[in-house]
Structure 1
Amino acid sequence: MATIIKRPAITGDIVHVASDRYGNILVIDDRKHRILSFDSVFEQSKIKRKMPHVPVHEYSRAMLLPVAFAEPVHVTLLGLGGGVMAHGLHHLLQDAQIHVVELRPMVLEVAREWFALPQSERLTVSIGDAGVAVEALPPASTEMILTDLYSADKMSPAQSQRQFIKACARALAPGGWLALNYHRMPEPDGNLIRELKRRFPCLLAFKSKTNNWVIYGCNRPFSPWGTPDTVLKNLESRLPIGWAKIMKRVTALSIDTLV
């Protein structure tokens, strides 16, 4: 599953409806975009129909930022949605293996049929609970974990649990990155922030225009401010999502960020 972006109402034509035990899955087209929704109010995923590998939502673009700091050979995505981030990473990282965990088999079917999710040996999707799956990952088995777990109208509580953060940290290789999408910034003195600080010497944050917060953690000390402009320009030529603009809005996660 993927995050939720609320609009007054999603405009466009419903071109496909599916359902499973979790609810409806709607595919909506407007003139330029294709949207995945579970209720016709919240946007779960959004792509440009002519460029399905380029994420539209700002938070989706921001989730990919750790690629500017380290080019992984293995990426784990928790939550598929329309496959926007998986498709973008598959396009961007030509030598990387990308593994996605998605709860709903029907979401995977829709992503493949309607959102151009690549069928590739480099991109695998497992059906299952992300919380269970991350616990089962071998230690140091992946260089990047991007987690975006949402149902129709709320974030999965797994993302705010200390055990989930601990499991992600254990699964990351040295120098690995975790990116989490939160619907609001966690409490500064809460268990989640304390666990993140315990596991990740480098913590960064990005606030989207829809008030989602992306929190990044690296398991080694790291300063992103020295990232060369040439790196961002190269990434932009490969996947045009505004890497430099995103980078300018990233801040170190501190008490000032949280209040």
Structure 2
Amino acid sequence: MGTIIKRPEIKGDIVHVASDRYGNILVIDDRKHRILSFDSVFEQSKIRRQFPHLPVHEYSRAMLLPAVFSTPEHITILGLGAGVITHSLYRLLPEARLHVVELREKVVEIAQEWFSLPKDDRLTLTVADARLAIEAMPEASTHLILTDLYSADRMSPLQSQRRFIKDCARALAPNGWLVLNYHRMPEQDGTLFRELKRQFPCLLAFKSKTNNWVIYGCNRPFDPWHLPDRAFKSMEAQLPIGWLAIMKKVRSLAAPASL
């Protein structure tokens, strides 16, 4: 449902308020941006009103990085927020089919009505629990999974569960990528980190300015540092988010764990 970015106060005008059994949903406008918030203190998502497909937050931009590493035909996004990551991938990969799973129907409605989320046959939106959705996915049925599951004030515990990591790995096609947005780096001697290493021969990490950690896992060995600069420059021409600058902050994590 979007990462939480805390601000002393979100400045701007509240232009829309909705509520459901999970709480309030606020749409806030300032001069340049539109913000999705669940409580007016934390930013769940943020777009530039003139360019709604361009992510504002650094962590959102970083989550797109595997689009340089491969060309996914099917993308699964767990947690919609305002839909900026979905919108970016929709624009960037015109041949890809996208499936978004979002827990809150009101969030889906607001993303479409207030944040310019496209309506297209290539984009499927499902209102469901991400845990059940990923469990039900057929083996090797998607090429890229992005998971950004947050409530009003915390990351969903689901993202820290070994079973969830296993289910994501099972659903990925060969050479598929999993992208996880964590509020902090998993402990390197913990069971979650060991599971990530066990499932993904290639494991990378990016630390954002807001101290979010984006973890990338590929189910095949992959060396992104040998990609030519022109691959990133080509992406920059299509979606100007600073691809090379993002890549320079990526580091490799430890080798795969032993069984």
TM-score, normalised by the number of residues in structure 1: 0.98
Is the contact made by 2:197 and 2:254 (CA closer than 8 Å) also made in structure 1?
Answer: no
Q: Does 1:76 align with 2:76?
A: yes
Deviation track 1:153-186 (CA, whole Å, cap 9, x = no partner) reads 0000000000000000000000000000000011
Matched ranges for 1:1-259 at <5 A: 1-254=1-254
CA shift for structure 1 position 36: 0.2
For 2:103 and 2:54, the matched residues in 1 are separated by 23
Is the contact made by 2:4 and 2:44 (CA closer than 8 Å) also made in structure 1?
Answer: yes
For 2:172 and 2:254, the matched residues in 1 are separated by 23
Deviation track 1:87-118 (CA, whole Å, cap 9, x = no partner) reads 00000000000000000000000000000000
CA shift for structure 1 position 187: 0.8
For 1:14 and 1:253, the matched residues in 2 are separated by 42
Q: SS in structure 1 opposite 2:134?
A: helix
CA shift for structure 1 position 27: 0.2
CA shift for structure 1 position 254: 3.1
Paired amino acid for 2:68: A
TM-score, normalised by the number of residues in structure 2: 0.98
For 1:194 and 1:100, the matched residues in 2 are separated by 28
Structure 2: gaps spanning 5 or more residues: none
Deviation track 1:60-101 (CA, whole Å, cap 9, x = no partner) reads 000000001001010000000000100000000000000000
For 1:179 and 1:5, the matched residues in 2 are separated by 19
Q: How many pairs align? A: 255
Structure 1 consecutive aligned stretches of length 4 or more whose deviation exceeds 2 Å: none
For 1:252 and 1:55, the matched residues in 2 are separated by 24
Paired amino acid for 2:158: A
For 1:8 and 1:231, the matched residues in 2 are separated by 39
For 1:38 and 1:69, the matched residues in 2 are separated by 34
Q: SS in structure 2 opposite 1:90?
A: helix
For 1:195 and 1:152, the matched residues in 2 are separated by 27
Q: SS in structure 2 opposite 1:163?
A: helix
CA shift for structure 1 position 228: 1.2
CA shift for structure 1 position 253: 1.2
- Identity among equivalent pairs (%): 72
C-alpha RMSD over aligned residues: 0.7
Paired amino acid for 1:178: L
For 1:218 and 1:19, the matched residues in 2 are separated by 38
Is the contact made by 2:74 and 2:98 (CA closer than 8 Å) also made in structure 1?
Answer: yes
Paired amino acid for 1:43: E
